[in-house]
Amino acid sequence: MCIHITEICDRMVNMTLSVSEQIYKKMKKYTMIKWSDVARLAFEKKLIELELVNRLLKNSTFTEKDAEDIGHKIKRKIRKRLD
């Protein structure tokens, strides 16, 4: 996906997004949808999620190795259940 950002004023910017032709054809069927609003809401939702994760992890000492170890333990227990 390509994103082109042009500053309009202090408060808003204009972005151009590229989507596949297949998606574009599907989107054209729904002319009543403001696709820029859909994109804007998706960006806002993702930013809220990322900011929440950052706040939760801010003081964490949990490392990537810790996550891998837990993942391996979970997989082992699942394998035991399935055997």
Q: Domain residue spans in the chain?
A: 3-82
Q: Closest Cα to residue 16, out of 35, 3, 1, 33?
A: 3
pLDDT at 57: 87
pLDDT at 7: 52
> What are the C-alpha distances in Å from 34 to residues 24, 27, 30, 31, 67?
13, 10, 9, 8, 40
Tens place of pLDDT per residue across the chain (83 aa): 455 555 555 677 888 999 999 999 999 999 999 999 999 999 999 999 999 999 998 999 989 999 999 999 999 999 999 98
* Helix extents (H) in the chain: 21-28, 35-57, 64-82
pLDDT at 12: 77
The Cα 39–Cα 4 span in angstroms is 14
Kindly report the pTM of this predicted structure: 0.61
Amino acid at 78: I
